[in-house]
Chain A
């Protein structure tokens, strides 16, 4: 019995080795992010599908996203969303710095950078709320109404139908991303509290911060794609 166990223990497939070189939790976080990547890709690919289909009648992003909240009458295309993008990239940087501080078991530094990451996430969420408010109440763009029909080729009703999809796709996809940012902020806050209480110091490592960091960078990554597909192309 014991000798059989011994033989098994020597084989590659029986534990004792770590084929992926990461801990269980980190590997599972990667797998979760992979599944999330599939979810977002189905949303973005369906956006691309309608976009290709309705190319001549699609709205021009410079026309849709040219407002800045609180500043009336200024036409500054993409400036506000540029600010949002920058905030999210910067919060990703502070997240890496928190992870790096965790490797050195520097509790104060982890706390500081986690706090900065949370603030970055909140600024992004606030900006998105302002952007949505402007689009819905000022411009009148909703799930079934699109005021930005700049080019209408031949009055083709199919194209009209496809451009009305702009609001649906925009609110669904940025909303789904915004919800991810919101969950990220909640999880980061939880980790901030746990750091402050000294849980990770007692545990002897800050791997939780790394796992949360993976999620936060993924949110940033998705925004990079959403930004390109909705605001630039």
Chain B
């Protein structure tokens, strides 16, 4: 009985440490703040990427499609560049603004892995989409 009591006491003590950790987490100050400098850095990166997208979209004669048959770059490449830049922007927003990059690895995978289903949906509908209406 005494042993049990001692063990219980010990765990209670051990728990106090653990729950202390939990309290800090609850209050959301367990992580180091993103310094203001970094926030503005990310803002500049996002702005520059957006500006670059505008330049690509609005430069006449850059993109080849049915409106501009003499464009330099093929349409697929331009679309690929746009999508790549978008994913890059998404990385900066989710990683830094939403702070996911600084969270625990478990949390990162919990959020990111389910997004594979979206890739699955895209793949399926690209395959289906090119086939219908023809």
Least Cβ–Cβ distance between B77 and chain A, in angstroms? 12
Of the candidates B28, B36, B58, B129, the one whose C-beta lies within 8 Å of that of A23 is B28
* Contact of B25 with A18 in the complex, beta carbons under 8 Å: yes
Do B106 and A21 touch across chains, with their CB atoms under 8 A apart? yes
In the complex with contacts A16-B18, A18-B25, A205-B28, A48-B11 CB distance below 8 A: no
| A89 with B18, Cβ < 8 A, contacts A20-B104, A96-B39, A221-B93 known | no
Partner of A78, one of B4, B54, B66, B103: B54
Say whether B67 faces chain A, with CB atoms less than 8 Å apart: yes
Chain A residue at minimum C-beta to C-beta distance from B114: A34
Q: What bracket does the count of chain A residues touching chain B fall in?
A: 35 or more
Determine if B129 and A48 form an interchain contact, defined as CB atoms under 8 angstroms apart: yes
Which one of A45, A89, A232 has the highest number of Cβ atoms from chain B below 10 Å of its Cβ? A232
Residues of chain A within 8 A (CB-CB) of B22 are: 16, 18
- A103 near B26 with CB under 8 A, answer no
Interface 1/0s, chain B 94-120, versus A by CB < 8 A?
A: 100110000110110011001101100
Find chain B residues with CB under 8 A from A82 CB: 50, 54
- Asked whether A22 lies within 8 Å of B47 as measured between CB atoms, the reply is no
The distance in angstroms between the C-alpha atoms of A62 and B97, with both chains bound, is: 31
Query: A18–B39 Cα gap in the complex (Å)?
Result: 27
Bound together, the chains give a CA A147 to CA B69 distance in angstroms of 23
CB distance from A167 to the nearest CB of B (A): 18
Count of B interface residues, CB-CB < 8 Å = 64
In the complex the two chains form, is A53's CB within 8 Å of B47's CB?
no
Which one of A36-44, A125-133, A189-197 is at the interface? Answer: A36-44
Residues of B within 8 A of A2 (CB): 4, 8
Number of A-B pairs, beta carbon distance below 8 Å: 168
A162 contacts chain B at the CB level, 8 A cutoff: yes
Q: A220, A228, A233: which contacts B93 (Cβ < 8 A)? A: A220
Residues of A within 8 Å of B66, CB to CB, are: 56, 151
A103 with B33: in contact, given A17-B18, A26-B28, A207-B28 (CB under 8 Å)? yes
In the assembled complex, A204 has its CB within 8 A of some CB on chain B: yes
Q: Which of A193-222 contact B (CB under 8 A)?
A: 204-207, 210, 213-214, 217-218, 220-221
Q: A-side binding surface: helix, strand, loop or mixed? A: helix
- Quick check: is B34 within 8 A (CB to CB) of the other chain? yes
Known pairs A19-B106, A49-B128, A96-B39; A151 contacts B67 (CB<8 A): yes
A174 within 8 Å of B (CB atoms):
no
Cβ–Cβ < 8 Å partners of A50 in chain B: 129
7 of the cross-chain contacts (CB-CB < 8 Å) are A6-B7, A20-B104, A45-B121, A49-B129, A50-B129, A86-B50, A228-B83
What residues of chain B have their CB less than 8 Å away from a CB belonging to chain A?
A: 4, 7-8, 11, 14-15, 18-19, 21-22, 25-30, 33-34, 36, 39-40, 42-43, 46-47, 50, 53-54, 56-58, 65-67, 79, 82-83, 85-86, 89-90, 93-94, 97-98, 103-104, 106-107, 110-111, 114-115, 117-118, 121-122, 125-126, 128-130, 132-133
Q: Which 9 A-B pairs have the closest CB atoms?
A: A21-B104, A207-B28, A205-B27, A16-B18, A52-B129, A228-B86, A49-B129, A41-B118, A158-B133
Given contacts A89-B43, A231-B57, 18 further A-B contacts (CB under 8 A): A16-B19, A20-B103, A21-B104, A23-B25, A38-B114, A42-B121, A49-B128, A82-B50, A89-B47, A92-B93, A97-B36, A100-B39, A151-B67, A205-B26, A221-B93, A225-B90, A228-B85, A228-B86
